[in-house]
Amino acid sequence: MNGLCEGRVVVVTGAGRGLGRAHALAFAAEGARVVVNDLGVGLDGTPDPDSPAGRVADEIRAAGGEAVAHAGDIATDTGAASLVATALRTYGRLDTLVNNAGFLRDRMLVNLDEDDWDAVVRVHLKGHFLPLKHAAAHWRAETRAGRTPAARIVNTSSGAGLLGSVGQGNYSAAKAGIVALTLVAATELGRYGVHVNAIAPAARTRMTERAFADTMAAPATGFDAMAPQNVSPLVVWLGSAASTGVTGRVFETEGGRITVMEGWRPGPTADRPSRWTPTEAGEATRKLLSQARTPHPVYGG
């Protein structure tokens, strides 16, 4: 029996470990041919002598699937272009892009160096934009040639990007940017047969060891709610042709829970045909705030 992604070619960035590895294995289990990307760096983005992409590709092939490793830096134009080229050269097509790569350099804002800001924004936000750009250019060319694809992009945001997270100003800003990028891309690329969605996952990985320190040990029996494999089924479905009509959405997912996240919407409003004085604006704003929903607290606040 064919899997949900039989015949599809899927690229997963940051797929050497954690969530990316779980996604790559899950796509392969559903019949996809997978390009496993991982630069092979440490948790903070510094060089790591390990080469996890090759190991995951080997794991997929050992289970009877098809996979190829890619170790390029997807936060560079050359690396992102070579990622898409690897899929096309190896398998002759590209159907799904899962943007997942990232690392952390957590600091309180007053201690956050410019380099730590730039590095995290670069890998998360630029590392989403460049693969998306090159994949979209390919799908646009396919559409113009009369071959409109059933293409899918799944981006990776975070609860930190939706609500903020103390000590993670750089990470929160980058992940919030990914949500906005997802909404723009979904609107711009729909004409080319591309659906674009984002997830905000919570799972036990290298990046979340401190956040989930009290849940690091999997239970001896029962359901391990923090296993990264729990997130992958939604990613696989969003990356398949079965998700037709679902685009421009953000989903929070953890364990057995899937939540459709609803972003900024107009709330209470005051309007008048003349300019406010500062005092009047303040009085009107306080009245509006008394009618508005209380925002969710920032993580760690």
Residues known to be catalytic:
158, 171, 175
Query: Ramachandran region of residue 67, left (φ > 0), alpha (ψ -120 to 50) or beta?
Result: beta
Residue type, 52: P
Order of strands across the sheet with 33-37? 66-70, 33-37, 9-12, 96-98, 151-156, 194-202, 250-254, 257-261
Within 9-126, residue ranges assigned H as helices are 18-29, 52-62, 77-91, 114-121
Q: 18-29 and 52-62 helices cross at what angle (nearest 10)?
A: 20
CA dist 40 → 13, 34, 47, 239 (Å): 11, 17, 7, 24
Q: 127-144 and 77-91 helices cross at what angle (nearest 10)?
A: 50
What does the alpha-carbon distance between residue 158 and residue 98 come to, in Å, rounded to a whole number? 15
Whether the CB-CB separation of 5 and 91 falls below 8 Å is answered with no
Q: 169-189 and 127-144 helices cross at what angle (nearest 10)?
A: 10
Whether the CB-CB separation of 95 and 143 falls below 8 Å is answered with no
Within the chain, residue ranges assigned H as helices are 18-29, 52-62, 77-91, 114-121, 127-144, 159-163, 169-189, 232-238, 278-291
3-state secondary structure of 139: helix
Cβ burial of 160 (10 Å; 0-12, 13-18, 19+) is: buried
| Residue 92 per-residue DSSP state | S
